[in-house]
Amino acid sequence: MGERETWTTEEFGTSHEGAVGVLLADGTVPGPVYFDSGSGAGGPSVSQWNVYDGRFTRVPRAAALRAVCSCGWTGEEHALDWDEIGEQKLAEAGAGAADACMEDWDGHTEEVEWSAILLPETVTTLLTQLGEEIEQLAKTSPLAALRAARLLEVTAVQAGYWPAHDARRDTSPEQAAAALGLNKDEARRLMARFGRWSPYR
């Protein structure tokens, strides 16, 4: 996969990394585009949606854009009208469709959040309040806010130790991943980090 702009959320990270995907007129997904660097060794590969304008040799023309996610989810297709686009740059003419893709992916991550294990309201309220208190403290004493954030980090590590071990014992990797809104590898690494064991065993 070539370079392209991607989106993530703080909680789900690369488990749900989104991007604007491209579909050709026959419904297939094009491979990355390679640009000649002039050195004869081949150039960088790019999969950014706005390069697929068909204006260069071996660069196909996008027929539609859709949101894609690293978890395998795909959004609805947003067709590109090339009669209307004409000679405009795709980056400008397709911006509306690209924005719609990001909104679709936002909706997907909201569904992931809702499908993850539900937290008690008291916990979410306390976490929100604590975050706001640290932000407020940073206005008068950035170092005090940093120390508070560090203590919060230490508390999280301590509080997560036994839950990580219990979850490892009582749930399957698939169950843990679904509850945390992560893929299996990321869920395994998260549990290993809090449980303080090697993620490779």
**Tens digit of each residue's pLDDT (9 = 90 or more) over 168-200:** 999 999 999 999 999 999 999 999 999 999 988
Structural domain count of the chain: 2
169: left (phi over 0), alpha (psi -120 to 50) or beta: alpha
* Rounded percentage of the chain residues whose pLDDT exceeds 70: 96
Q: Check whether residue 89 and residue 131 sit in a common domain.
A: no
Q: pLDDT value at position 149?
A: 97
Query: Which H or E run contains 185?
Result: helix 184-195
Looking at the predicted structure, is the pLDDT value of residue 42 above 80?
no
Last residue of a domain, one of 115, 139, 168: 115
Q: Measuring CA to CA, which residue among 97, 33, 29 is closest to residue 59?
A: 33
Distance CA 21, CA 101 (A): 8
Q: Is the pLDDT of residue 115 over 60?
A: yes
With contact defined as beta carbons under 8 Å apart, do 61 and 53 qualify?
yes
7 lies in some domain: no
176 Cβ contact list (under 8 Å, min separation 6): 167, 168, 184, 187, 188, 191
The residue out of 80, 115, 150 marking a domain boundary is 115
Q: Is the pLDDT of residue 35 over 80?
A: no
Same structural domain for residues 69 and 37?
Answer: yes
Confidence of residue 95 (pLDDT cuts 50, 70, 90): very high
Asked if residues 29 and 22 have their Cβ atoms less than 8 Å apart, the reply is yes
